[in-house]
A and B are shown apart, each in its own frame.
Chain A
Amino acid sequence: MTDRLPGFSTLAVHAGAQPDPTTGARATPIYQTTSFVFNDADHAASLFGLQSFGNIYTRIGNPTNAVLEERVAALEGGTAALAVASGHAAQVVVLQQLMKPGDEIIAARKLYGGSINQFTHAFKSFGWNVAWADPDEIESFERAVTPHTKAIFIESIANPAGSVTDIEAIAAVARKAGVPLIVDNTLATPYLIKPIDHGADIVVHSLTKFLGGHGNSLGGIIVDAGTFDWSKDNKYPMLSEPRPEYHGIKIQETFGNFAFAIACRVLGLRDLGPALSPFNAFMILTGIETLPLRMQKHCDNAKAVAEFLAGHPAVASVNYAGLPGDKYNNLARKYAPKGAGAVFTFSLKGGYDAGVSLVSNLQLFSHLANVGDTRSLVIHPASTTHSQLDDAAKIKSGAAPDVVRLSIGIEDKDDLITDLDQALRA
């Protein structure tokens, strides 16, 4: 038995997946079952009491989902993970472990529009307050810290403009404030950026995007870095104090450096309910096997398309961190040397009307509200994903009215460029 670290591609194929003990099946079976029989009453009691490892009910855990969890934990360099029904579900479950009514989270202003809505409206109804900070100005995070701050939330590569966040600088703010840093790594994937290496304590994903990668299955995941001491003060009682749901067990004392993932499972997923379908877990696992191949192609295509657009007479500007001279190019070279992702925005000299016309003229790009598909996608954020924001907030989040967002697929790049060229000329 050698203690040697396998490469990323080996982990993407193998981590978490052992041939099925009963049948010998090599691909991970889809355990499409709600429940699992107990050996006897004592076994049942020890499972419910968290004394044994094992399966009870698919809302709490499922063997197919567990393979996905270990796979993503291994790729991110975390101690454990919990798969849930969507990226949004991951965010609710994470914050339920950390927040009580009246508590605050500091969030980067540049976020997926759906997250901005969730934080602003849904979380407000739980009494969870959000303080917005600007990832381009690290001091704005420091200024937002109060005694009620429980976490800082950022995206590694931020939607919609593909801007790269200085994770290490914001991790330093979080450490000083004594709160965990949560990083949404959806647009980068661990192939491009591993936030835990840069100081993240919790990583979340919408698996729906590049990890699943084929635009066919929703999913979300929470990765525990195993780096945060939840018991150093009484700020995080879900982890440090006896839990009445489990006869007084203290989660961190019992589970050590994967306590946060366990809390998300046995206190969050169990009681809130957003379980991932085992079928979706299987589809996403299959997608992850080719993540390194796909992600490199996504990035290479995106760079070629961004370069083409930057030289096009109808284009006013391109925001792609992979382009030399881009505002985020230095951060991209530091954090994502293999590529700056495949989601970016550009603006048209013809403004809003030109954007609408471009979207309708494109033949190969699909007009829809998703990113991270094998297919290339286009959307006009101001009228869709970011439509609930006012104009000032749209501009601050990178979704001004003249901006078009692309998610570049893994087609042949020349075909994508030809399609954009004809649509811009039409």
Chain B
Amino acid sequence: MNHDTYPDNYIRGILNSVKSIAMVGASPVNVRPSYFAFKYLAERGYDMIPVNPGYVGKSLLGKPFVASLADVGRPIDMIDIFRNSSHIMPVVEEALRLSPLPKVIWMQLGARDDAAAAKAEAVGIKVVMNRCPKIEYGRLSSEISWMGVNSRTLSAKRAPMPTQGMRLSLNRMSVGGGQTAASDRVAKNKTETT
């Protein structure tokens, strides 16, 4: 998988198929991006599990925190890692010890570890890096268009109104595979210089 740019169908396939998401580094502080994403994905109907050893005994939007992935105690479809790039590898190694294995490992905006991604992909896990599932869900459903964001999708079909807890249709026609040419160029330059 080329991790500078992802085809929309790859992201769409992941968001359409996963049901449970364990968020490593989830924060109960309501100005942190992890809180935004956790809440949004929970409202869109995903089974969200907050993982953060610092908050065990507390809960996030009614879901109890667990200390580690091993403590989840049930199969997890996707692991969403809200940690800096330097903290990715131990989380991926922990994920690789789970049975059954997760189907997807997702690293948040700004987070990227190509070595960790290669380890996960070697055992058939799909990997997404440096993206936010909330933004991608909002973009592919065009919900994010309310913020003037270029969803890079088109549709002449009438969309259902989004409501609490409802999964939106992500099956719109994509414009050019997901990213803009300019953002692809910047990502590529960044990869080449680091």
Contacts and interface: CB of A to CB of B under 8 A. Distances in A.
Contact of B182 (A16, A53, A196, A246): A196
Given A49-B31, A53-B143, A21 B159 contact: yes
Contacts of B27: none
A69 B151 CA distance: 11
A315 B72 CA distance: 82
Interface size band for B: 35 or more
Given A21-B160, A53-B144, A261-B148, A2 B31 contact: no
Interface in B129-151: 132, 135, 138, 142-151
Given A4-B176, A226-B182, A69 B148 contact: yes
A226 B159 contact: no
B39 to A, nearest CB: 6
A49 B173 CA distance: 31
Given A225-B183, A253-B110, 10 more contacts: A2-B173, A61-B147, A79-B182, A196-B181, A226-B183, A248-B31, A253-B109, A256-B135, A261-B149, A265-B147
Interface residues of A, number: 61
A173 to B, nearest CB: 17
Interface string A62-74: 0101110110011
Interface stretch (A80-88, A140-148, A365-373): A80-88
A59 to B, nearest CB: 14
A65 B147 CA distance: 10
Contacts of B160: 21
Contact of A6 (B35, B144, B154, B157): B154
Contacts of A54: 146
Nearest to A71: B150
B150 A70 contact: yes
Interface in B1-38: 7-9, 12, 30-31, 33, 35-36
A178 interface: no
B175 A11 contact: yes
Interface string A1-30: 111111000110011101111101000000
A3 B149 contact: no
B172 A1 contact: yes
Interface in B147-189: 147-152, 154-161, 164, 171-178, 180-183, 185-186
Given A81-B150, A82-B148, A247-B30, A74 B175 contact: yes
Contact of A24 (B39, B109, B110, B158): B158
